[in-house]
Amino acid sequence: MKNIIFIGGIHGVGKGTLCRKVCNDLNLRHLSASEVLKWEEISEKENKLVKDFTLTQNRLITNLQQIVTENERYVLDGHYCLLNKDNVPEKIDFDTFRALNPFAFIIVVDDVQEIKKRLENRDNREYDFDLLLKFQELELEYSIELAEQLNKPHLTLKSEETNNFKTFLYDENFTRH
């Protein structure tokens, strides 16, 4: 699926907003991993904990294979890590990313205090700062590791950096086909 850019980041970092802005401007199709997975069919909407990583990631790849066509370019927003059933950040299996085989890896990061505020406003509940910090650090580290292991381009962004995102896509020749 070399016509997919994978963009990850923790919940509330702003990756969906960033993707919508850039995809609209560049005529790319934005996919959310939650929508592709049909998350509401396998978990409660408010629940961010993943009970069975293998099931969810196999479902993601299978559903993507049914959605993605060769003549379109996609930006898939999702996660490099997820909160397991014990509420601990855990890396998604390397084989998922090997099967996905994206064109490039992007990670969106932000000030964890700001992310915490966004999540609490959005979800109307309390979030643990240290957990969010650990989650974001693991996502960043793993995104770099995946890009190196799969020999793919990598970019770290803040959610408001639409121009840097567009420049990266252009410079990496993702938008010119």
> Rounded mean pLDDT of the chain?
87
Q: What is the rounded average pLDDT of the residues 90-106?
A: 94
Question: pLDDT value at position 46?
Answer: 54
Q: What angle do CA 58, 63, 65 make, to 5 degrees?
A: 100
For residue 55, pLDDT over 80 is answered with no
Return the percentage of the chain with pLDDT > 70, whole number.
Answer: 89
Return all residues near 161 (Cβ < 8 A) that are at least 6 apart.
18
Residue 47, pLDDT > 80, answer no
* H helix or E strand, kind and range, residue 82: strand 81-84
Averaged over 133-140, what is the pLDDT?
97
> For 75-99, what is the mean pLDDT?
92
Q: Is the pLDDT of residue 175 over 90?
A: no
- The SS3 call for residue 49 is strand
pLDDT of residue 174: 85
How many CB atoms within 10 Å of residue 65? 10
Tell me the C-alpha distance between 109 and 164, whole Å. Answer: 14
The tokens describing 20, both together, are 């919508």
pLDDT at position 84, please?
84
pLDDT for res 57 = 79
* Mean pLDDT, residues 13-30: 91
pLDDT range class, residue 15, cuts 50, 70, 90 = very high
Helix (H) or strand (E) holding 105: strand 104-108
Q: How long, in residues, is the chain?
A: 177
DSSP three-state, residue 69: coil
pLDDT band per the 50, 70, 90 thresholds, residue 38: low
Q: For each of the domains in the chain, give its residue range(s) and CATH number, in order of start.
A: 4-164 (3.40.50.300)
Query: Whole-prediction pTM value?
Result: 0.88
Q: In the structure, how many helices (H) and strands (E) does the chain have?
A: 8, 8
Neighbours of 19 (CB within 10 A): 25
The mean pLDDT value for 99-116 works out to 95
Alpha carbons 74 and 84: distance in angstroms, whole number: 27
pLDDT of the residue at 50: 59
Report, as an integer, the average pLDDT of 58-83: 88
If DSSP codes are grouped into helix, strand and coil, which group holds residue 95?
helix
